[in-house]
Structure 1
Amino acid sequence: MGSQRKSIPVDSLLQLRQRLDRLPSKSPERATQITAMAQLYGVSPTTVYRNLHVVLKPRTVHRCDHGIPRILPQSELEHYCELIAALKLRTTNKSGRHLSTVRAIQLLEEHGVETGQGLVRVPKGLLRRQTVNRWLSLYRLDQPRLLREPPAVRFQAEYSNDCWQFDMSPSDLKHIEQPGWIDAAKGQPTLMLYSVVDDRSGVTYQEYRCVYGEDAESALRFLFNAMAPKPNPEFHFQGRPRMLYLDNGPVAKSHVFQNVMQALHIDWQTHMPAGKDGTRTTARSKGKVERPFRTIKEAHETLYHFHQPETEQQANEWLWNYLMRYNSQGHRSEKHSRLEDWRANLPPDGVQDMCTWDQYCRFAREPESRKVGIDARVTIEGTAWEVEPDMAGETVILLWGLFDDEIFVEFDDETWGPYYPVSGPIPLHRYRAFKRGKAADRSDRIHELASQLNLPISALSGSDIQLLMPD
């Protein structure tokens, strides 16, 4: 018997327990099962009963005071943890650096911290780094949880053209060989991708433009092309959206852009920048307009390694050819294509037509009050414009838009113009007279009338004195 095992494995005891549970409580078979198990392992039946009782006895996983601090009351420890978490959060910079737990405990012990309820100081030696870090995690006051962004809210427009998302991104090509224009003072212009994406269907329209940074003029020109009917009849995407969603760049801050959107009855909404909406960095919905940029740069612009466009027009023709294929691809959640989804979910009142280019140019004019110089000229951004001679020295309202090569002037409740830029100052030894206007003629009449007027002497002497001429 010395070679026999004196301990019963746990799995054997569990199997015995299952067999006993299937038997009635008064069954003699229960004693038979116990005796057989005792003989198998060379122990007494009493040992088998004792092992059954021990192996099935519930045990506590934690201590009886688990979850309760033992160094001080729970309310005080929670208050100290909140102060340490607040110190870490207050000292966090943009790089994510902040006070350590040890340094925060040291400050609380040596100097304390001022709160709305007064100065709070921790007794020395009361708090330890391991204890505080553990309870910060249990109270969910650690840095990752405090700086965690709120849950994302995914929205989608109900109808097509309800919301367009607008953005621009530099092309991976950077430059083209023959740009349409070059500013010698700024160097080579950057090839920029302009894009609008319908929030509902995902249909996109994009253009290449050679620009020097983000400016309202290029953005408004692109938006007109996006809203107007396209030269290609197969490109059905058009119309005025109800809302435009864009970032807080120079375009959204431009007064001309805002005036044009108001004239077109288009609302615009900007993303909340980082630091303006709590822990949320920025709007997640930007992905709807950023994703086509990535697709264009990976599936289309990578082919520029074989052939590069020479002009802006050629680059746009190649781009529009690919956009036809892109819009015909599957919708992100529906079983049909993006273009089919745009057609099937048009608003009940249909597509809102875009105005003409001339009307669009009038919307882009921003009234500005200016005083005309004595030479009947006004200067706008270094360019001189010559107006009517009667306006010299007067305050007028200039109507000058981004897309205009001329200006209009409101004076005496009338609109005058158009006026075009003039050259520099008149060369020396050359005189040029202005054409006489109504104001000059009126002034001449007043001067002539003033020379003919006479005043009775009674205005000086106080009596009507008549001078008699001798016979």
Structure 2
Amino acid sequence: MNPALIERLQAVDRQAESMGRGERSAYLKQQAAELGMSLATLYRKLEAVAVKPGRKRRSDAGKSELSLDEAKLISAVLMEAMRRNGKRLMAVRQAVEMLRANGKIEAARIDEETGEVLPLSESTIIRALREYKLHPDQLLQPDPVSRMKSEHPNHCWQIDPSLCVLYYLPRHGKDTGLRVMKEEEFYKNKPKNVVKIEQDRVWRYTGTDHASGTIAVRYYFGGETSANLCDFFIYMMQAKQDTLKDPFRGVPRMVMLDPGSANTSAAFKNLCKSLDVHVQINRPGNPRAKGQVEKANDIVETAFESGLRFTEVNDIDQLNGLAERWMRYYNGTQIHSRHGMTRYQAWNKIKAEQLILPPPADYCRELAVSAPKEAKVSPDLEIRFGGRVYSVKDIKGVLVGQKLLVAKNPWETDGARVATFDADGHETWVAVPQVVFDEMGFRADAAVIGEEYKAPSHTESQQHAKELDKLAMDAETLEQAAAKRKGKAVPFGGELDPYKHQEDTLAARNTLYIERSGQQMDYNRMEVAEQVLSKVEMAKLLKPRIEAAGGDWKQAVALITKQYPDGVAASQLEAVFNQLKTAGRLKLHKTA
């Protein structure tokens, strides 16, 4: 279209927009005839030149007819019906139908024109799940991760045992060499075949130094056990045969493992406690936490175990010898992508104060086997452990009668260490000194009787008790508190009303209960006769009163005898006394 035609068509479009429906049709037919084209062609050309306003955003955009609570319920059903490998077994439509049938959700909307309740479509529900961030595709995404770093070599080690699925060493018959496991014969889903070779399967223990990336690997029989784990950890710490070619050694500050039974065993934890190594057990289902050692396992499989197919190995010691040679080669020659050095070059940057040399391997094994024991604190602030006495007076917060966890000190033959906790709740082990006794069995540092006195230091609980004593007696010193207690002073100056809370509670509630009508129960009514006082009993009761009033008791007795020969009811005694006072013949007067 030429510019003149475009300008004419735009003018026609503007004019048509200002007309009504009937007028517009007649006008467009007229313009089509003038332009020498059909009405359909005119419509098509107007569509091409017309300037259309942008589409308005819906007022309800971003809102959903499906409530958040219903979306959560649908999402929970979809996630529960999922396999552990993440495969979804239930469709959204199926989950919604099931929940509707059980009356758990409505998932419906109301038609504004008809008022009819209409069920939401599957696409609408799926869109709502995504808007709420509750769709399984969104929930199954990996959690955001934080990159972690180590401060120096031997700061953190990671250990991961793994079953060597390709190779095993049969320990029966004449065949003692390493062989490839045939998949058709020992397929992992055939339990009977797996049981046959369970004790002969080779387990690979792989460890890494987090800072340098140094890889250590060793093979074991017997599966994933605490004994194998402790042996491998001790192997990693010990100096190798030629430290100039294989420098990796020392005690790490911490070690990270998965929550397996062997990894959380008492033997391994006790070994680490005695060596001041913090054990970090990762949360289940979080492989990224020790991704470095997972990658190291893959490197060992591809760079070392792949070559075992082409050689003959007679026993596991020979296999470990080949593994050690591979470690020297790989750690000493292959460049690590993170720091741009070989792993041994990076590890060798460790400083003297960071390289903690371990005790001998035999001693480490003893630490792993002997579990810490509890020891009770005596009034002398001492404990007995291993046939010796140790002082714990310098342990912060120690109490008499408290039970402490004690273990051997790996650097002192006769030493001991006590488990304590820092401000963050982390367990630490503190060395405690041994108490030395003289030939008479006395403590060498005890005070000499009659010459000196060494007051024992107050424990934290004793100090608190003294402060509380002064607080309760409102005293500045312990002497003032003792004086107030001796004087039976009321604690806290009598300012505490022990029943104030009851009064406040009743006043605040101000509860009045509605009076309920009751029904009297039947009971056995007994006739009770009133007591009749004899003349003697009347005399005993009235004589003191008559005489106290100054009256003549003899005259009163005569009147009683005459008028009440048979006695009188107890309730009438007061009336008799008043009659005696007012009788004409009885004159009552007080003696001087």
* TM-score interval, smaller chain: 0.5 to 0.7
50, 54, 64: which one aligns with 1:60: 54
TM-superposition CA deviations, 1:378-401 (whole Å, max 9, x none): xxxxxxxxxxxxxxxxxxxxxxxx
Paired residues of 1:92 and 1:99 also in contact (CA < 8 A): yes
253, 273, 283: which one aligns with 2:284: 273
Paired residues of 1:227 and 1:354 also in contact (CA < 8 A): yes
Paired residues of 1:261 and 1:267 also in contact (CA < 8 A): yes
215, 232, 237: which one aligns with 1:222: 232
Q: What is aligned with 2:348?
A: 343
Change beyond 3 A, Cα 1:149–1:368: closer
91, 103, 106: which one aligns with 2:94: 103
TM-superposition CA deviations, 1:69-99 (whole Å, max 9, x none): 6xxxx46555543443344335445364455
Q: What is aligned with 2:359?
A: 355
Q: Which has the larger radius of gyration?
A: 2
User: Partner of 2:124: helix, strand, or coil?
Assistant: helix
Counterpart check, 1:85 vs 2:95 = no
The aligned runs of 1:112-131 (5 Å cut-off) are 112-113=103-104, 125-131=118-124
Paired residues of 1:112 and 1:122 also in contact (CA < 8 A): no
State the distance in 2 between where 1:60 and 1:349 align.
Answer: 70
Change beyond 3 A, Cα 1:208–1:106: closer
TM-superposition CA deviations, 1:99-157 (whole Å, max 9, x none): 5333343345443228xxxxx78586332222222332333321111232211223121
Q: What is aligned with 1:132?
A: 125
Paired residues of 1:113 and 1:121 also in contact (CA < 8 A): no
State the distance in 1 between where 2:305 and 2:62 align.
Answer: 62
State the distance in 2 between where 1:101 and 1:8 align.
Answer: 55
User: Which structure ranks higher in relative contact order (CA pairs < 8 Å, sequence separation ≥ 6)?
Assistant: 1
Aligned-CA RMSD value = 3.8
State the distance in 2 between where 1:91 and 1:53 align.
Answer: 52
The offset of 1:321, in angstroms, is 1.5
Amino acid at match of 1:295: I
Counterpart check, 1:197 vs 2:208 = yes
Change beyond 3 A, Cα 1:169–1:138: same
Change beyond 3 A, Cα 1:91–1:231: same
TM-score, normalised by the number of residues in structure 1: 0.57
TM-superposition CA deviations, 1:204-236 (whole Å, max 9, x none): 121222x12111112212221210110023100
Q: Structure 1 vs Structure 2: percent identity of aligned residues?
A: 23
Amino acid at match of 2:79: L
- Any gaps of 5 or more consecutive residues in structure 1? 1-6, 14-41, 44-50, 115-119, 180-184, 275-281, 370-471
State the distance in 2 between where 1:170 and 1:98 align.
Answer: 30
State the distance in 1 between where 2:212 and 2:47 align.
Answer: 67
The offset of 1:272, in angstroms, is 1.1
State the distance in 1 between where 2:57 and 2:151 align.
Answer: 56
Amino acid at match of 1:223: F
Counterpart check, 1:154 vs 2:147 = yes
User: Partner of 1:164: helix, strand, or coil?
Assistant: strand
**After alignment, is 304-313 or 190-199 more displaced?**
304-313
**After alignment, is 86-95 or 320-329 more displaced?**
86-95
Q: What is aligned with 1:466?
A: none
Counterpart check, 1:312 vs 2:310 = no
Q: What is aligned with 1:94?
A: 84
TM-score, normalised by the number of residues in structure 2: 0.46
User: Partner of 2:240: helix, strand, or coil?
Assistant: coil
**After alignment, is 166-175 or 85-94 more displaced?**
85-94
The offset of 1:188, in angstroms, is 5.2
319, 328, 341: which one aligns with 1:324: 328
Paired residues of 1:160 and 1:199 also in contact (CA < 8 A): yes
Q: What is aligned with 2:293?
A: 289
